[in-house]
Structure 1
Amino acid sequence: MNLVLIAMIAAMLIPMYEAWKDDNIWQKMLALASISSKAGIMTLFISVLRDDWMIGVVGAIILTVGNAGLMLLAHVIKRLDDL
């Protein structure tokens, strides 16, 4: 179980490394969205292992709301740069 969680955390760091090399705002926002998705999946995984539905609800909220807000923020930043 610990090996799986360590592998999931390592997989979360890969998009951040790729976005760190590039100055494009879209690459950074997509990396953060990827981390948000992976954090939601990890939360759901942990909730199943612990048999705790409240943690699972938080994971579902992260998956449904987290990426939409982040993409809206990226769009607003891009529109501000275009002005």
Structure 2
Amino acid sequence: MNFILIAMILALLIPIYEAWQDDDIWQKMLAFASIATKTSIMMLIVSVSRDDWFIGVVAIIILSVGNAGLMLLAHLIKRLNEI
């Protein structure tokens, strides 16, 4: 189980590096959406392994609502650039 979490943390470093390296706002938003998704999946794995469903509920909320807020922000920035 520890190997899976270490592999997921290493996979989490890829979008963090991409967001740090690139200055394009759209690439940064995509990287942050990827980070949020991977973090919530890691939380789900930890909650199942610990048999703690409260952490799982928080992970599901982050997974479903977190990316929707990020996409709304991307749409608002796109509209502001069109004006």
Q: TM-score, normalised by structure 1?
A: 0.89
Matches within 5 A, 1:1-83: 1-83=1-83
Q: Which runs of 5+ in 2 are unaligned?
A: none
Aligned length: 83
Q: Could you tell me the percent identity over the aligned residues?
A: 71
Q: Which amino acid aligns with 2:11?
A: A
Q: Which runs of 5+ in 1 are unaligned?
A: none
CA RMSD in angstroms comes to 1.2
Q: Which amino acid aligns with 1:31?
A: A
1:2-44 per-position Cα deviation (integer Å, ceiling 9, x unaligned): 2221211111110121232222111100100000100110010
